[in-house]
């Protein structure tokens, strides 16, 4: 493995690699034969303090493929466990390598991770590789989420490897370079509690606090405060998912971050017609991670986090459980507040009132009844064009619309102010499933990335309501088969 010789602005630190050995394994990315860029995120590179011109080159492709290590890299695979569809198991980075943490000029720290870079000690029989379609899918969805203002990991680059990967068929190989404020997961703490002992658990908890929540570091009950912070951030995050119709698809505990960022865009998708029972993932046959289940599953996952932290809460088991339950019980109220505040903004209610929630629930019920598109319904209301919804001539929607208008009139703020707020929170465009599939098909089949680039340009400004976005708001043709997503591993 060679060291990078171009001066591209790397300022890598390796705080995670200085933790005790049980939390990671040293590993080298497996070299590939012919790395070429499929996509390079110039804006993200520059925000990280990297020289995008120097990295957007063959030398850069060598770095993002793992053939060459950037200066200061100490590649490792992280160890973690997790509850997958409710069942606990040992996991770890089976096809990912953390190169290090890029320190920006402002002092922020971002993990730089290669995904699909080959086998690791945690591969569990897998080949450690990734294919082009799922890596581009993660790039598209994560960048769309970022533009929507939802906390997320991001994609710095995707390179093709010049080598086939075998799944059901032979597919082109690819490697994604992912950035995140960290890859600490609930599963990291489950691993520490199971195999690290109390001191190992304390070590990773202190590390998480120092990295993400330094404001509680000096407090005597800092581990309880850590739990509180994670509960608060996950309640806010999941509410944001619900407000845009995003379905994660695989909410295992190893896919929930301590930072409150969205991570692991496998079988995820955005809902078209509103139906709380919507499931896209081909492997979620029981609907465990359906749209309507995301808040309670988030709460269930957080209970596993609290259980892992119990030894740090108090010496007495009963007291530790009492503290954990006290914090955990706040999730439902926190989530509901974030969701209700968000729904009020989506409908232009800038001054809360007692009748708001019944009015919101009535609208959602009407949308479900008439199979109205989630995003386009709120887009139509934002433009005050109810006539472009499939509910336009129905008595129940007509009555609801009159009530909504009357509610807006009772506010002290003007309607213009209300509609301005609606426009800032109701996206005009989302990564529609059929548009994402079209972009991926062109890229994988023909190496034509122009379809994806055009889609990304539109998704970069979801609240613009521009004429250029109009065609991207259209729904796909009706299909007898439900849309299905796949994990890609």
Beta partners for 172?
A: 164
Which of 3, 387, 233 has its CA nearest to residue 377? 387
Judge contact between 97 and 29, C-beta under 8 A.
Answer: yes
Indicate if 254 belongs to the active site.
Answer: yes
Residues 6+ apart with CB under 8 A from 137: 265, 436, 440, 488
User: What is d(CA 97, CA 118) in angstroms, rounded to the nearest whole number?
Assistant: 8
Judge contact between 407 and 381, C-beta under 8 A.
Answer: no
User: What is d(CA 189, CA 4) in angstroms, rounded to the nearest whole number?
Assistant: 34
The radius of gyration computed from the CA coordinates of the chain, to the nearest angstrom, equals 23
Catalytic residue among 111, 254, 264, 284: 254
User: What is d(CA 3, CA 283) in angstroms, rounded to the nearest whole number?
Assistant: 40
User: DSSP secondary-structure letter at 166?
Assistant: E
Place of tokens 């960022």: 261
Dihedral sign, Cα of residue 232, residue 235, residue 241, residue 244 = negative
Element of type H or E holding 305: helix 294-313
Question: Which sequence positions are flagged as catalytic?
Answer: 254
């Amino acid at each position: 493995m060679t060291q990078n010789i171009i001066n591209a602005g790397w300022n890598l630190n390796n705080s995670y690699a200085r933790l005790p050995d049980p939390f990671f394994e040293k590993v080298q990315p497996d070299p590939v034969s012919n790395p070429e860029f499929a996509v390079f995120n110039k804006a993200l590179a520059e925000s990280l303090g990297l020289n995008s011109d120097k990295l957007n080159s063959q030398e850069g492709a060598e770095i993002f493929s793992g053939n060459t290590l950037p200066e200061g890299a100490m590649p490792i695979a992280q160890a973690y466990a997790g509850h997958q569809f409710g069942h606990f198991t040992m996991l770890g980075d089976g096809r990912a390598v953390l190169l290090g943490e890029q320190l920006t000029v402002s002092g922020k720290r971002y993990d730089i991770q290669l995904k699909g870079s080959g086998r690791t000690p945690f591969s569990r029989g897998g080949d450690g590789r990734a294919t082009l379609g799922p890596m581009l899918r993660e790039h598209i969805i994560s960048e769309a989420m970022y533009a929507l203002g939802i906390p997320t990991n991001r994609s710095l680059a995707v390179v093709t490897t010049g080598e086939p990967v075998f799944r059901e068929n032979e597919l082109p190989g690819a490697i994604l370079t992912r950035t995140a404020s960290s890859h600490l997961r609930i599963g990291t703490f489950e691993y520490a509690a199971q195999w690290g002992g109390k001191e190992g658990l304390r070590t990773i908890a202190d590390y998480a606090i120092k990295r993400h929540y330094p404001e509680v570091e000096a407090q005597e009950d800092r581990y309880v405060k850590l739990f509180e912070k994670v509960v608060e951030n996950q309640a806010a995050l999941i509410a944001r998912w619900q407000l845009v119709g995003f379905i994660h698809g695989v909410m295992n505990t190893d896919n929930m971050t301590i930072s409150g960022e969205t991570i692991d865009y496998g079988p995820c998708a955005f809902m078209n017609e509103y139906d709380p029972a919507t499931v896209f993932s081909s492997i979620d046959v029981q609907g465990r991670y359906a749209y309507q289940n995301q808040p309670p599953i988030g709460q269930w996952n957080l209970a596993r986090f609290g259980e892992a932290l119990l030894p740090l809460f108090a010496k007495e088991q009963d007291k530790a459980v009492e503290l954990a339950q006290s914090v955990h019980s706040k999730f439902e109220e926190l989530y509901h507040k974030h969701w209700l505040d968000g729904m009020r903004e989506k409908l232009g209610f800038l001054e809360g009132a007692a009748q708001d929630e019944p009015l919101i629930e009535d609208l959602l019920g009407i949308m479900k009844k008439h199979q109205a598109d989630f995003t386009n319904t709120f887009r139509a209301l934002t433009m005050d064009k109810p006539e472009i919804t499939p509910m336009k001539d129905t008595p129940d929607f007509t009555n609801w619309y009159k009530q909504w208008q009357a509610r807006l009139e009772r506010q002290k703020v003007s309607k213009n102010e209300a509609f301005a707020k609606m426009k800032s929170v109701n996206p005009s465009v989302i990564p529609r499933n059929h548009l994402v599939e079209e972009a991926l098909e062109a890229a994988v089949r023909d190496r034509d990335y122009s379809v994806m680039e055009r889609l990304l340009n539109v998704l970069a400004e979801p609240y613009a309501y521009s004429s250029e976005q109009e065609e991207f708001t259209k729904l796909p043709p009706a299909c007898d088969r439900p849309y299905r997503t796949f994990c890609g591993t």
